[in-house]
């Protein structure tokens, strides 16, 4: 079975997009000769010199530039090195990109793709390790995707550039160097969840890098676990998620981000629409430390997942 790292999949998708669409271009800090903060754009400047724009260090400015280019018919793909830095461009994203279609009564659109590395697990410390995807799921007009493997990030990028709306793709940086199977490249349907493992006894709804952890926990669990990956967080596939939970009648929501965000939304969705027993495991509500032993304690681990599964099955 063919395998690729998460980063290789991103690079391949970007290569194909630039080759297929002369209106597309990549912009961001260090995306040129350096190849991006993590190497996702490595080699693209030499192949597409007119479609790779290295920018100054100003997330607000480059996001504004990308929005303007999108309005003029271009297809910008903006790399924000760490998703934490999206905070610097909140006005441009939330008040401009997400609103222009509505404000223009559909006469203008912003076909903008923003890639941003998210989450902990790399020792990058407090200002480079946060998980703020939940913030953006509260903004009408945005599409928010968080792929959990190489196939899905490739599929997400290809789907995003075909969408007329601003799309934010959060890429869990702890997965960048991991290898995944890379052979089932069916088109990604934005707004559609996917079942990553079929089961009958309990549904784990996992987001981002927690999908891989859920699959590992399911393999060694004493019951039959179904793993659902929403992939798209906005719009959320409520019907697909509820279909799985209604089948198993037990649900565990698993996220790296803190509980008062997408995790709570998913628990509420299940609680209000099913009779299922539901619990959540989420990231600790604390700044992210740099020390590996401390950082590891912030996010759910397999032992916690197994203990919660036991509670749901027999509690």
Would you name the residues annotated as active-site residues? 128
Let me know: does 254 contact 207? Beta carbons within 8 Å: yes
- Measured N-to-C along each axis, helices 264-273 and 238-248 cross at an angle, to the nearest 10 degrees, of 60
Report the 10 Å Cβ neighbour count for 2: 9
Q: In sequence order, which residues have a C-beta less than 8 Å from that of residue 176 and are 6 or more positions away?
A: 5, 6, 7, 38, 117
Helices (H) and strands (E) counted in the chain, each on its own, are: 12, 14
For residue 151, what are the CA distances in angstroms to 2, 5, 55, 174, 206?
11, 9, 29, 16, 17
Let me know: does 93 contact 67? Beta carbons within 8 Å: no
For residue 8, what are the CA distances in angstroms to 159, 162, 175, 178, 291?
17, 21, 11, 10, 28
Q: Give the β-pairing of 225-229 and 202-206.
A: parallel
For residue 301, what are the CA distances in angstroms to 14, 118, 213, 270, 305?
33, 18, 8, 23, 6
What does the buried/exposed string (b/e) look like for 200-234 if buried means 16 or more CB atoms within 10 Å of the residue's CB? ebbbbbbbbbbbbbbbebbeebebebbbbbbbbbb
């Amino acid at each position: 079975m063919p395998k690729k790292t998460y980063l290789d999949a991103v690079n391949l998708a970007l290569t194909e997009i630039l080759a297929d669409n002369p209106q597309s271009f990549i912009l961001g800090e260090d995306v040129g000769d350096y190849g991006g903060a993590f190497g996702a754009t490595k080699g693209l400047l030499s192949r597409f010199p007119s479609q790779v724009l290295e920018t100054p260090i100003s997330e607000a400015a480059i996001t504004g530039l990308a929005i303007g280019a999108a309005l003029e018919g271009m297809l910008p793909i903006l790399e924000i090195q760490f998703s934490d830095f999206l905070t610097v461009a909140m006005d441009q994203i939330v008040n401009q990109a997400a609103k222009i279609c509505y404000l223009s009564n559909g006469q203008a659109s912003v076909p903008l793709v923003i890639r941003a590395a998210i989450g902990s697990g790399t020792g990058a410390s407090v200002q480079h390790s946060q998980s703020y995807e939940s913030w953006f799921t509260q903004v009408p007009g945005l599409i928010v995707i968080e792929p959990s493997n190489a196939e899905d990030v490739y599929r997400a990028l290809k789907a995003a550039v075909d969408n007329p709306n601003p799309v934010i793709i959060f890429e869990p940086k702890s997965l960048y160097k991991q290898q995944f199977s890379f052979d089932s490249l069916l088109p990604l349907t934005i707004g559609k969840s996917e079942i990553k493992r079929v089961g009958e006894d309990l549904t784990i709804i996992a987001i981002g890098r927690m999908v891989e952890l859920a699959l590992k926990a399911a393999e060694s669990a004493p019951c039959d676990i179904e793993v659902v990956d929403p992939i798209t967080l906005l719009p959320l596939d409520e019907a697909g998620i509820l279909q799985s939970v209604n089948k198993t009648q037990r649900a565990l929501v698993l996220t790296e981000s803190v509980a008062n965000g997408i995790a709570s939304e998913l628990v509420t969705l299940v609680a209000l629409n099913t009779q299922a027993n539901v619990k959540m495991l989420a990231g600790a509500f604390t700044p992210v430390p740099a020390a590996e032993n401390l950082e590891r304690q912030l996010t759910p681990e397999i032992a916690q997942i197994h203990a919660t599964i036991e509670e749901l099955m027999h509690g």
